[in-house]
Structure 1
């Protein structure tokens, strides 16, 4: 069944799979050009993933960092949006397979399907240690932290309280550092006056990193600053601490079993299954090899960008999995494809221009690495906030997030501390399933 939403015209048809940073940028660059564009995503919204950790720590709501894809692209009459799950690609017939029996034909195909968390062969850990890629992940983590405190409030025994007030973050990259700092701030600053039987300031936040230091993509000077800052906030930072096992309510490190109510996985990512769709050999992270124009070799008319692509810079070094990389690739490819399809202009090689790498380390502290220049502390935090507000889609989102951040900075209060009935049911179901699976696993050994 042909799901192409627009009537068939003589214009070439570009299909984009994925409405993230790269896919959206590509669609916007192709907007109002003499091409038909269809963007496919399993969600009907674009999610600003760099701020998802703030949803997980009750600072923002999902609506603050998500915008309907149709709304973002509605001024481009040549762009259509399909909400659907891509199940494969028929390269020979140039069709994208959607669902069980649908398809959309293409002249050019752009794969911008992003990534998922990599559990390095321990996929069963995913049920008890969620990553942070979706709104559902963020809501689940937020509910876990808040429910842990509520459970601790029901007992006056400190030994029983502590496991419910312990959060473990696995992975010392930017996401792990930001999560650890935000959870520590939530318990020690925002909630310290809300309970009677417990003292939230005694809650434990543990950051585990298997390597020799946290924030390995950053210079050592900035990593040391982040380490000191986290410890000052009460976070226990443990390096050279690879995780041996994760089960419901516990994390095992070097033989030590750490009881924890909340476990967050931030230890690495792998690409979506695009390589298997194309039947091409991927790299060790599941990414699709591409040439200098982001084209997939041996698959005519197919391109890959963002976390889906194994692209390199001018010196042959792999490009990092950052939003700025995906956004620049999407804009470049949209403009290049428009020129090729309209006038036959050959695609020039893609050139990445780094805007710097950043991470926030709690209240009023961040770090920036611009290559030759480095910033840390208050000024870096202001710059981080300005950049992230600017990158949000839509003036309304920028204004709302700015107001909320200012109010939270002024009052030390986080506003989204509600646990919905839906989240309670989801968390209970996940905990029960994980516990049963763990029991079955122990019984089979």
Structure 2
């Protein structure tokens, strides 16, 4: 079988990569799945790990466990550093090389600091489990330090939390941190009043949730403000330091900053030397192949592709999953000698964002929802798309506990504590 099977290398075990593998089941192929982490993350709920609502095990699963019933799939823990498209080989950081007949690049995205990568130690983004646990640690340590601090100015800085960027992630973080301070932590401290914590959401654009209709954007802003979040619009951040952020020419002292303002694609375009947009995403053909390389597919956050409305296909899980299904169909057609399916066409299934307890917004295009009903639909949808029954039950019970008792069970400070923060503050 080894000599007859078509060799496929999939780089990245995100939504797109796993969906492609799932829909290749039963095909005469040998698949090698490479990822630099040993787990798949349900990224839409990553912010809930960062805000102590969920534990890491509730939104992440070992890749090998997911592939245990697929003997034709070999899983490798490794970091890809390049692609030799001529020799059809993928290069790994340890010097190993993987030969392929077809390559699927589903390498995701990383944080973009708009030319200021030096801000990252002070303002971590949220793309991986490590990011979420770092942010959770900084949030919880800030309250602990404030409890012991005697200098009012330092205490105020410790109790000021700044989120840069008012897209869905920024909105969800701001609302949840505000509820964490006002509901969950309030009975736990004796010297500080956690209700006085400041949560500041800074956005360079004119409104929050810029991709949503105006009425849902306005509702979101009003809901955040009712939770105590300070929403600052039309203000670009010009500096992030250990002391705080600068926007509008003024310094806001803050010891906890979270970056949710932008993303940049992986270096896949650089590996191949192909055209990319300003965010580094490969400009793919309508069939999701790399220009000049029909044997290489690129999907998810790795690519730039216009949707039916002319707007770029968003970097969200449903888009990556649809692309994964499409690529699997194309490969199957090629192996069978059948005509290729029509060009990829993204079908937008709706945009959802949680604001706080029983507050969310949903834009299905044909209908818009807000408030408690939208929150219930948001919760049901996210639970449904979790991979395992155990995770669905665990998340459902965690949310039920949070929203009936105002308790978050994942309030653990791990991995570094003061040492980690001192590294960040020293740059």
* 1: CA distance, partners of 2:122 / 2:258: 8
SS, match of residue 294 in structure 2? coil
Q: Distance in 2 between matches of 1:316 and 1:224?
A: 25
CA displacement, residues 4-58 of structure 1 (integer Å, 9 cap, x when unaligned): xxx8331111111000111111111112221111111001110011111001100
| Matching of residues 150-169 of structure 1 within 5 Å | 150-169=144-163
CA distance in 2, matches of 1:338, 1:213: 44
Match of 1:358 among 332, 347, 352: 352
> What is the correspondence of 1:297-376 to structure 2 with a 5 Å cutoff?
297-376=291-370
Q: Secondary structure at the match of 1:245?
A: strand
Q: Does 1:130 align with 2:124?
A: yes
Deviation at 1:327, TM superposition (A): 0.8
Aligned-partner Cα distance in 1 for 2:312–2:357: 32
Q: Which residue of the partner structure matches residue 119 of structure 1? A: 113
Deviation at 1:157, TM superposition (A): 4.5
Whether 1:412 aligns to 2:406 is yes
SS in 2 for 1:360: strand
- 2:141 alignment partner, one of 147, 156, 171: 147
Output the CA distance in 2 between the equivalents of 1:115 and 1:259: 30
Structure 1 unaligned regions, length at least 5: 1-6, 435-445
CA gap 1:124/1:421 in 2 versus in 1, 3 angstroms? closer
What do residues 228-272 of structure 1 show as CA deviations (whole Å, max 9, x unaligned)? 000000000000011111111210111211111110010011111
Match of residue 277, structure 1, among 250, 271, 278: 271
Aligned counterpart, 1:110: 104
Alpha-carbon contact 2:329-2:341 (below 8 Å) kept: no
- Cα separation, 1, equivalents of 2:92 and 2:154: 49
Q: Distance in 2 between matches of 1:150 and 1:61?
A: 20
Paired position in structure 2 for 1:246: 240
Partner of 1:186: 180
User: Does structure 1 retain, via aligned residues, the 8 Å contact 2:8–2:30?
Assistant: yes
SS in structure 1 at match of 2:110 = strand
Residues 264 and 281, structure 2, Cα contact 8 Å, conserved in 1: yes
Q: Which residue of 2 aligns with 1:237?
A: 231
Match of 1:98 in 2: 92
Residue correspondences, number: 427
Deviation per CA, 1:346-384: give whole Å up to 9, x if none.
243112111100100011110000112100000100100
Report the alpha carbon displacement of residue 428 of structure 1 after superposing the two structures with TM.
2.8
Once the two structures are overlaid, the 10-residue window that deviates more, 89-98 or 343-352, is 343-352
In the TM superposition, residue 423 of structure 1 has moved relative to its aligned partner by 4.2
- For residues 285-321 of structure 1, the C-alpha deviation after alignment (integer angstroms, 9 at most, x for no partner) is 1110111110111123011100101112234331111
1:205 and 2:199 aligned: yes
Give the match's secondary structure for 2:307.
Answer: coil
Counterpart mapping for 1:25-40 below 5 A: 25-40=19-34
Q: Please report the TM-score for the alignment, with normalisation by the length of structure 2.
A: 0.97
Deviation per residue, 1:318-362 (Å, 9 max, x gap): 111111100111112113212322344424311211110010001
Q: Which of 169, 177, 180 in structure 1 is aligned with 2:171?
A: 177
Structure 2, unmatched stretches of 5+, are none
Alpha carbons of structure 1 residues 223 and 111: separation in structure 2 relative to 1, 3 Å: same
Query: What's the C-alpha RMSD, in Å, of the aligned pairs?
Result: 1.3
Which residue number in structure 1 is paired with residue 252 of structure 2? Answer: 258
Aligned residues of 2:141 and 2:417 also touching (Cα < 8 A): no
Structure 1 position 421, deviation (Å): 5.1
Q: Is the 8 A contact 1:336 1:348 kept in 2?
A: no
Secondary structure of residue in 1 paired with 2:76: strand
Equivalence for 2:261: 267
Does the 8 Å CA contact 1:156/1:197 hold for their aligned counterparts?
no
TM-score (norm 1): 0.94
Q: 1:63 aligns with which of 54, 57, 60?
A: 57
1:84 aligned onto 2:75: no
SS class of match (2:141): helix
Whole-Å Cα distance in 1 between the matches of residues 153 and 243 of structure 2?
15
